[in-house]
């Protein structure tokens, strides 16, 4: 398959490209498109064959449900059985935006889109071109992140191209995304709303609107018997670079000296190493491939650069990657959740 690339410019001329992309969707094809979180791999959510194509293109297990993207609140009422009052409150606060809500689905949504589940995850992205594209394509776009299953999510169209060239019909290039980690997912079908995946919209922001909200314990713990994440996708090793990633935990001094020691050990055994540092620590590492994820004072910058850095280390062929921890105040839960999963919960304690 020849994958077309269309560059969005943020002007009137985008309308023609978005219409072309919408026609691909109506014809049952696949289009990668930008959102404010990461790039999505879109298909018509109400067309079972189109949804199946997403699983094939990504190499995604078929029990891992897709998020349905909408552009208007009216669209929600057609695909879900019941909208609790607090879901409406959440939509008023956070939509369009990086929050995905889970509801009981109606028969309009095929089981192929929801990985066999009777619930459906719904989100309205905060991205002008994405919203126009969804509207032009009929209102319901199923879209996981546009990466090969298990790889870091794409934050630029170039990342999408690396993974999806030849596998999908079209890529809409809207430049680098704004947030860089996937949306927060909240399950509204349980008695107490539960966060299944942390994101930009954090627990505190949700609690302000909902009163009570809990975090799925599987979010920060290593998968083991008895702890099964409620979001099927969260059970897989995910967001992962090709090299072996380890997180090194402790105070700055101990972390820097531990990482330097590990780098020396691996390099002398002929292995290629890489380090994820910060502006504050970068100069202190004795490693050829050290990259700063930004300053610790800019946690949104850290989130935005995370996946790109993991991909750059893949391109370099890094075999062992060491990272500091980034347990920052607002987005720390989201950043650490992605890093822990990318590392397969491989944490080195210096304490």
Interface with ligand TXA (CB under 6 A):
35, 37-38, 40, 64-67, 100, 102, 114, 117, 119-121, 123, 125, 143-145, 182-183, 185, 196, 230-234
Note whether 337 binds Mg ion by CB under 5 A: no
The three-class DSSP label of residue 31 is strand
Regarding 184 and contact with Mg ion (CB under 5 A), the answer is no
Min. distance of Cβ 269 from ligand TXA in angstroms? Answer: 36
Instruction: Using CB under 5 A, pick the residue from 47, 119, 145, 292 that binds Mg ion.
Output: 145
279 vs 300, which CB is nearer to ligand TXA? 300
Residue number, 58 or 305, with CB nearest to Mg ion: 58
Closer Cβ to ligand TXA, 124 or 245, answer by number: 124
Contact by Cβ (8 Å): 248, 237: no
The rounded distance, in Å, linking the Cα atoms of 351 and 233 is 32
* Closest distance of CB 118 from ligand TXA, Å: 8
Q: Judged by CB, which is closer to Mg ion: 307, or 313?
A: 307
The residue number whose beta carbon is nearest to ligand TXA equals: 233
| Shortest CB 260 distance to ligand TXA, Å | 35
The DSSP-derived string for 100-140 is EEEEEB-TTS-TTTTTT-SEEEEE--S-HHHHHHHHHTTS-
d(CA 136, CA 130): 10
Closest distance of CB 186 from Mg ion, Å: 17
Residue 12 DSSP one-character state: T
CA distances from 339 to 107, 108, 174 (A): 37, 36, 26
246 binds Mg ion (CB under 5 A): no
In terms of Cα–Cα distance, which of 296, 297, 289, 303 is closest to 339? 303
CB nearer to ligand TXA: pick between 195 and 247: 195
- Contact between 155 and Mg ion by CB under 5 A: the answer reads no
> Whose Cβ is closer to ligand TXA: residue 50's or residue 263's?
50
Token pair for residue 224?
Answer: 């083991």
Report, in Å, the least distance between residue 185 CB and Mg ion: 11
**86: burial class by Cβ within 10 Å (0-12, 13-18, 19+)?**
middle
Cα within 13 Å of Cα(148), Cβ side: 13
Question: What DSSP state is assigned to residue 175?
Answer: -
Looking at the Cβ atoms of 117 and 348, the one nearer to ligand TXA is 117
Q: Is 183 in the site for Mg ion (CB under 5 A)?
A: no
Note the Cα 222 to chain centre separation in Å: 19
The least CB distance from residue 123 to ligand TXA, in Å, is 6
Please, what is the minimum distance in Å from the beta carbon of residue 179 to ligand TXA? 8
* Interface ranges with Mg ion (CB under 5 A): 145
């Amino acid at each position: 398959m020849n994958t077309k690339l269309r560059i969005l410019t943020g002007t009137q001329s985008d309308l023609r490209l978005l219409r072309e992309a919408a026609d691909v969707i109506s014809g049952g094809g696949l289009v990668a498109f930008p959102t404010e979180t990461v790039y999505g791999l879109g298909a018509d959510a109400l067309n079972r064959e189109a949804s199946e194509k997403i699983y094939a293109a990504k190499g995604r297990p078929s029990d891992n449900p897709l998020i349905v993207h909408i552009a208007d609140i009216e669209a929600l009422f057609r695909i879900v059985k019941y909208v609790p009052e607090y879901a409406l409150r959440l939509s008023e606060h956070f939509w369009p935006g990086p929050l995905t809500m889970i509801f009981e689905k109606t028969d309009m949504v095929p089981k192929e889109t929801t990985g066999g589940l009777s619930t459906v995850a719904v989100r309205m992205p905060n991205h002008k071109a994405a919203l126009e594209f969804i509207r032009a394509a009929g209102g319901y776009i199923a879209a996981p992140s546009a990466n090969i299953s298990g790889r870091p999510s794409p934050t630029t169209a170039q990342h999408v191209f690396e993974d999806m060239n030849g596998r999908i019909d079209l890529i809409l290039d809207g430049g680098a995304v704004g947030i860089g980690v996937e949306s927060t997912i909240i399950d509204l079908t349980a008695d107490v709303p539960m966060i299944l995946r942390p994101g930009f919209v954090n627990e505190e922001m949700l609690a302000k609107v909902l009163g009570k909200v809990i975090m799925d314990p599987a979010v920060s713990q290593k998968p083991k018997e008895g702890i099964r994440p409620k979001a099927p996708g969260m059970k897989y090793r995910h967001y992962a670079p090709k090299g072996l990633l380890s997180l090194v935990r402790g105070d700055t001094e101990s972390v820097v000296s531990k990482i330097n020691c590990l780098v020396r050990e691996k390099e002398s055994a002929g292995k290629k190493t890489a380090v994820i540092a910060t502006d504050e620590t970068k100069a202190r590492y004795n490693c050829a491939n050290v990259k700063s994820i930004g300053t610790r004072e800019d946690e949104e910058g850290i989130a935005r650069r995370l996946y790109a850095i993991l991909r750059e280390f893949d391109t370099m062929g890094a075999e062992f990657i060491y990272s500091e921890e980034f347990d920052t105040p607002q987005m720390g839960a989201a950043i650490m959740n992605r890093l822990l999963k990318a590392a397969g919960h491989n944490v080195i304690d210096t304490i």
